[in-house]
Amino acid sequence: MASEDVKTSESAVSTIVNLAEEAKLAREGVKAPSYAILSICKSLVAGGVAGGLSRTAVAPLERLKILLQVQNPHSIKYNGTVQGLKYIWRTEGFRGLFKGNGTNCARIVPNSAVKFFSYEQASKGILYLYQQQTGNEDAQLTPLLRLGAGACAGIIAMSATYPMDMVRGRLTVQTENSPYQYRGMFHALSTVLRQEGPRALYKGWLPSVIGVVPYVGLNFAVYESLKDWLIKNPQFGFVENSELSVTTRLACGAAAGTVGQTVAYPLDVIRRRMQMVGWKDAASVVTGDGRNKAPLEYTGMIDAFRKTVRHEGFGALYKGLVPNSVKVVPSIAIAFVTYEVVKDILGVEIRISD
């Protein structure tokens, strides 16, 4: 993460640890990897652990959110957060609450790792250009520049793992009564490729890219700006030994997640609905039952927006917002804090000004 809250002594310890690792490898006759390569690997590990842990913690709410987003408006089965969770428990049991979580973790681990690593690299590049342009070597990233770095990281990570997210959405909404069952992520990927073609794996990609800018960008920008502001204003009592406590960083992450998800949520609804288009033998929660049975048909993002608002009202763009709000705050907060804690444990240098 882009930050200045690492003390000089910690930086020295990190350097010594890495030098010791290289010396050990040299004694064993193994070519020592460079400090940069070690730092990259550790950043990827920290990002992966943060993403997997945070998503697993809120998996039931994540599944309910998707079910609310895509369910047929004429055949309502899930009607609110509490009722929806009870219905899943009653009809599918404990395992139903975590359906799709395995695929989600398989997707979110590389996604989160690439996202955090891309953000650090983009931040370094943008900061270097900004310092060269202003002629001030001590210049730091502004909130707007952080927004740009976060958006770049989000687009790169999302695009790299989008096919996994697409099939994850379908795996999440299928139930035991679905006419056709995907047996897992790889089976779903091969089935979509065979029945719908490779382009189907990127259905909903455009609203995802557009949504990345406010969502991921604001997450990083708000989080980093809050941290820097609190560190520069120790009179509020949140700074301990020139650092923010884990609790304070958790609160910063929660605030960042709330802002980002609220702004970008309608695009997430449209993205998820577009992913269901063309699904042969789709789950009944999508198509409806009996006389209400009808497949989703959208020609593109604008058409999806238009039909959703026309047939269901503007409020449909915020279906699932309540469980998403409940889950996104701890999810984002846990992800950020876990990332920094794991990096501290691994001894990773996280200052971008070096």
pLDDT per residue as tens digits for the range 131-158:
998 888 888 888 778 878 888 888 888 8
How many angstroms separate the CA atoms of 50 and 335, rounded?
4
Position 36 scores a pLDDT of: 62
Mean pLDDT of 27-33: 44
Residue that has been written with the tokens 């702004």 in this structure: 263
* SS3 of residue 240 by DSSP: strand
pLDDT tens column, 264-318: 899 999 999 999 988 877 777 887 765 556 667 888 999 999 999 999 999 999 9
pLDDT of residue 5 exceeding 50: no
Cβ neighbourhood burial of 194 (10 Å; 0-12, 13-18, 19+): exposed
pLDDT of residue 235 exceeding 80: no
How many angstroms separate the CA atoms of 275 and 259, rounded?
25
More confident residue, 250 or 59: 59
Quick one: pLDDT band at residue 107, thresholds 50, 70, 90? confident
pLDDT tens column, 89-100: 999 999 999 998
Position 245 scores a pLDDT of: 81
Quick one: pLDDT band at residue 9, thresholds 50, 70, 90? very low
Position 206 scores a pLDDT of: 93
Position 3 scores a pLDDT of: 39
Q: What is the mean pLDDT of the chain?
A: 80
Position 60 scores a pLDDT of: 93
Number of H helices, E strands in the chain: 12, 2
How many angstroms separate the CA atoms of 212 and 107, rounded?
16
Position 27 scores a pLDDT of: 39
pTM to 2 decimal places: 0.71
Q: Which of these ranges, 39-48, 97-106, 110-119, 148-157, has the smallest mean pLDDT? A: 39-48
Q: Is 204 left (phi over 0), alpha (psi -120 to 50) or beta?
A: left
User: Of 5-14, 44-53, 127-136, 234-243, where does the model show the most confidence?
Assistant: 127-136
